[in-house]
């Protein structure tokens, strides 16, 4: 197979020139500055020439520490064009996380923007021997003071003598290293190929419906696979990009209104913040322009679905389930479609199994069907009282990562045999081919010989009107192996009254007794009902990518319980 029969993300440059040579390709939300497609492509080619002049060669890693901007995607494409591998770093990381990630990938160049220029001082001081150059991103002449190896993008760009696109593929066709934090441990670098990014783009074009006429608002950080994969999709179709450095509700709303944004991606917390900022006004100025909203990073509750539909009444609302190792989305589910009367938000039964549904014995969240290129299966399955088969969710296909860059846990993907990747999640597939997500394999609780998935119990507790958020976990128990506990955040206007007695006649009260009764009313199996409840009065800890640190909550509760018992 010849090189040019393979996919390369820089093939989007031809499309950009054909569609937007003299039209705006990028818009800065802060300044309103615009760059045409022709200007952008020229910038990519000039930067690529400059990287070659610096000594960047095929397979070299270039780390990027920056907020969302046109310069970010210019670097992403320029590095790929010369056969390098881009490694976006998360600007929310601690110093230790950053150094661990950089040590793992050993970049030869570190590119930073103004918001992350302190990283040049911390990483470009010789502590990372692989870094030969630190470059400040942007077009105006600036400098990185105090750095012998400090340059700026304005200086290193070279004239384009030959405008033809000569793509170079990195070893194993790797385009980028995207880090996944997990909930514990060091960031792991996931090596993703050009073809994986292109196939994921095809899925989003087919299912979400991205086109060249879209004006896409970058709400998600480009250091995460969700933000990168949607960005690549929009580059491939030749749509327009509106950049905001970081998500900000005020900036997002203003950008939607000013630039007539048609599409964006969200996570549940973004929907909640936008809903709070916009309020219940049905006729805000941006309500009618948005036509496509793709939600990832966790399912939307019934309330958040209703809030999203209220904010974006003309938008098709789609939820995606996926992971970095699968180059973003594995399944898609349409939650609301204004042109389809069969899809709506009148009932949450479409998304969460209820006692009256065929899935009542094994609950979970329906995350939809895979696109055509994704193969899913359930392995190591077991049944629960004649309910559906539940097991590990595995996936196979060209969308999967090449490997973990550090070679850690590479055994989870064995391309020499079956090629199946264990997602680390458990679930089941119904008769319509839809995947139901039950929980994380490594998060399950062993209680009295039974497996309990905390996500299932959390889903039931969240149906109580007084529960804002909840975390369920197991704590050691000599008799049952683990006893199920729940930390509960109470909604505003509700009171936690846990005196161990029957509930009073006063309204808007929560207690262990009330929540246990609620679980029984929702037909949750008795062995799955938490025996210990504690009020949690602050936001639950999360990683920089928004994943819950369940183990941190668990450790804190166990420590508090031990302190309490030792003092008695």
Pairing outcome for strands 328-336 and 34-36: unpaired
Cα separation, 325 vs 563, in Å, equals 40
Give the other-Cβ count within 10 Å of 70's Cβ: 23
Contact 46, 157 (CB under 8 A): yes
CB contact set of 110 (below 8 Å; sequence gap of 6+) = 62, 63, 65, 102, 119, 120, 123, 124, 131, 133, 134, 135
Domain borders along the chain are 445-567
445-567 folds as GMP Synthetase; Chain A, domain 3 (3.30.300)
First to last CA, the chain: 73
**Tens of each residue's pLDDT in the chain, 568 residues:** 455 568 999 999 999 999 999 999 999 998 899 999 999 999 999 999 999 999 999 999 999 999 999 999 999 999 999 999 999 999 888 787 888 889 899 999 999 999 998 888 888 777 789 999 999 998 776 667 655 567 888 889 998 877 666 889 999 999 999 998 654 457 889 999 999 999 999 999 999 999 999 999 999 999 999 999 999 999 999 999 999 999 999 999 999 999 999 999 998 889 989 998 988 655 788 889 999 999 997 778 788 899 999 999 999 999 999 999 999 999 999 999 998 755 544 333 344 444 444 444 456 788 999 999 999 999 976 555 445 688 899 999 999 999 998 644 444 454 434 789 999 888 999 989 999 988 777 788 878 767 788 888 988 899 999 999 999 998 887 667 788 999 999 998 999 986 555 555 667 899 999 999 999 998 888 888 999 999 998 888 887 666 788 888 888 888 887 776 655 5
Place of tokens 């009330």: 514
Q: What are 486's two structure tokens? A: 């729940």
């Amino acid at each position: 197979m010849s090189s040019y029969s393979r996919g390369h993300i820089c093939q989007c440059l031809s499309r950009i020139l054909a569609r937007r040579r003299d039209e705006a390709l990028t818009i800065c939300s802060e300044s309103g500055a615009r760059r045409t497609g022709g200007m952008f492509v020229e910038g990519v080619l000039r930067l690529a020439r400059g990287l070659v002049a610096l000594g960047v060669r095929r397979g070299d890693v270039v780390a990027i520490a920056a907020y969302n901007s046109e310069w970010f995607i210019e670097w992403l494409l320029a590095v790929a064009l010369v056969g390098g591998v881009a490694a976006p770093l998360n600007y929310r990381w601690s110093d230790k996380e950053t150094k661990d990630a950089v040590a793992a990938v050993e970049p030869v160049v570190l590119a930073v923007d103004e918001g992350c220029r302190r990283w040049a001082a911390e990483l470009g001081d010789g502590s990372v021997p692989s870094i030969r150059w630190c470059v400040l991103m942007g077009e105006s002449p600036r400098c990185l003071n105090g750095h012998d190896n400090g340059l700026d993008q304005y200086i290193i760009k070279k004239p384009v003598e030959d405008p033809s696109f000569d793509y170079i593929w990195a070893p194993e066709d790797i385009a980028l290293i995207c880090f996944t934090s997990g909930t514990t441990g060091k960031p792991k670098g996931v090596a993703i190929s050009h073809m994986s990014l292109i196939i994921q783009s095809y899925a989003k074009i087919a299912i979400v419906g991205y086109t060249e006429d879209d004006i896409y608002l970058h709400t998600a950080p480009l250091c995460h696979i969700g933000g990168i994969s949607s960005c690549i999709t929009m580059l491939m179709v030749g749509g327009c990009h509106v950049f905001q450095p970081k998500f900000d509700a005020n900036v997002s709303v203003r950008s939607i209104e000013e630039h007539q944004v048609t599409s964006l991606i969200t996570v549940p917390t973004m929907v909640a913040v936008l809903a709070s900022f916009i309020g219940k006004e049905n006729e805000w100025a941006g309500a009618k322009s948005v036509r496509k909203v793709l939600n990832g990073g966790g399912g939307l509750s019934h309330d958040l679905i209703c809030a999203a539909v209220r904010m974006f009444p003309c938008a098709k609302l789609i939820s995606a389930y996926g992971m970095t190792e699968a180059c973003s989305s594995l399944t898609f589910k349409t939650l609301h479609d204004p042109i389809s009367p069969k899809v709506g938000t009148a009932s949450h039964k479409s998304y969460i199994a209820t006692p009256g549904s065929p899935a009542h014995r094994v609950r979970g969240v329906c995350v939809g069907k895979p696109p055509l290129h994704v193969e899913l299966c359930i392995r190591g399955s077991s049944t629960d009282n004649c309910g559906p088969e539940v097991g590990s969710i595995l996936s196979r296909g060209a969308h999967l990562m090449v490997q973990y860059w550090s070679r850690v846990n590479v055994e989870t993907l064995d391309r020499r045999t079956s090629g199946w990747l264990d997602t680390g999640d458990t679930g089941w597939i119904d008769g319509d081919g839809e995947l139901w997500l039950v929980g994380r394999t490594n998060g399950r609780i062993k209680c009295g010989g039974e497996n309990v998935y905390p996500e299932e119990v959390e889903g039931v507790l969240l149906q109580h009107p007084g529960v804002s958020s909840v975390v369920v976990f197991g704590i050691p128990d000599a008799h049952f192996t683990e006893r199920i506990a729940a930390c509960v955040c109470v909604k505003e206007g509700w009171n936690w009254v846990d005196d161990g007695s029957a509930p009073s006649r006063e309204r808007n009260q929560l207690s262990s007794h009330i929540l246990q009764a609620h679980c029984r009313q929702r037909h949750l199996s008795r062995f799955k009902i938490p025996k210990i409840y504690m009020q949690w009065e602050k936001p639950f800890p999360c990683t920089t990518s928004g994943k819950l640190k369940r183990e941190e909550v668990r450790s804190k509760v166990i420590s508090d319980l031990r302190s309490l018992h030792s003092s008695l």
